[in-house]
Amino acid sequence: MIPNGDCRSSLRFYHFERSDVVTRIKICGLTRKEDVDTALKLNVHAIGFVFYPNSPRYVSPERARELMEIIPPFVTTVGLFVNATVDEVANVLAIAPVKLLQFHGDETPQQCNTIADRVQRQYLRALRVKPDMSGDDLVQYERLYRQGNPSFAGLLLDTYVDSFGGSGKVFDWSIIPKELAHRVVLSGGLTAQNVSGAVTKVRPGAVDVSSGVELAKGIKDPAKMQAFVQAMQLADTYLPE
Catalytic residues: 28, 158
C-alpha dist (Å) from residue 141 to 65, 135, 155, 180, 186? 33, 10, 9, 11, 15
Contact call for residues 44 and 57 (beta carbons, < 8 A): no
CA nearest neighbour of 139 among 198, 179, 186? 179
> Which H/E stretch holds residue 225?
helix 222-237
Contact call for residues 109 and 144 (beta carbons, < 8 A): yes
C-alpha dist (Å) from residue 195 to 67, 68, 99, 200? 27, 27, 26, 8
8-state DSSP, 32: -
Q: Is 184 exposed, middle or buried (0-12, 13-18, 19+ CB in 10 A)?
A: buried
C-alpha dist (Å) from residue 220 to 48, 104, 158, 216? 13, 21, 20, 7
Contact call for residues 152 and 129 (beta carbons, < 8 A): no
